[in-house]
Amino acid sequence: MKTIAVISDTHGNRKAIDGLSGVLGECDYIFHLGDTSGDGSYVKSKFLQKTFIINGNCDLAKLGEDELCVKIEGVKIFATHGHLYSAKYTNSKLIARAKELGCGAVLYGHTHRAEEKTENGVLIVNPGTLSRYSRASYAYLVINGDKAVAKIVFPDERSI
């Protein structure tokens, strides 16, 4: 069994990232899905071996990947920021790309709207945002063999 913390769209709010340090520390993997990848590098400086960084549309310095496909236990995960796949309007391009890559899960950000659902056999997870622009949220995934379960978490605003 592996655990994953997924954050996105932090937009420089390192106080929120630091507020999640306990969660980030105990997880097996961390995905930062962009905006800003500099914040992803900040996370990676603390958790070097387990952090994946994805570039977002606001990332002038490209410090991560534009997209990534990684297998954790028996689940292949497609991770992207979402802006290259019209994520604000539809999940169809994300799902098509995941299926093209043979992935059973998609992690994306960009919209600042948290969601977790399964569509066309693909688990779709958007952690929302840790920025000051919206209600703070992140996603927590548990992978056990070939099964993945996601939960959107809304932390206590005072802790972040």
| pLDDT above 80: residue 5 | yes
CA distance 45 to 51: 9
Q: What is the pLDDT of residue 60?
A: 85
Phi-psi region of 142 (alpha: psi -120 to 50; beta: other; left: phi over 0): beta
| pLDDT above 80: residue 148 | yes
| Residue 65 β-bridge partners | 54
Provide the token pair at 17.
Answer: 């990232």
CA distance 28 to 152: 17
Mean pLDDT of 28-32: 98
Provide the token pair at 153.
Answer: 């978490």
CA distance 93 to 154: 27
Mean pLDDT of 148-157: 92
Q: How confident is the model at residue 160 (pLDDT cuts 50, 70, 90)?
A: low
According to CATH, the topology of domain 2-159 is Purple Acid Phosphatase; chain A, domain 2 (3.60.21)
Mean pLDDT of 142-154: 98
Tell me which of 151 and 131 has the higher pLDDT. Answer: 151
Give residue-wise pLDDT tens across range 96-140.
Answer: 999 999 999 999 999 999 999 999 999 999 999 998 778 999 999
- Write down the domain spans for the chain: 2-159
Give residue-wise pLDDT tens across range 52-105.
Answer: 999 999 998 889 999 999 999 999 999 999 999 999 999 999 999 999 999 999
Q: What is the pLDDT of residue 103?
A: 98
| pLDDT above 80: residue 159 | no
Q: How does strand 67-72 pair with strand 51-53?
A: unpaired
Q: What is the pLDDT of residue 57?
A: 95
The total of other beta-carbon atoms located within 10 Å of residue 135's CB is 12
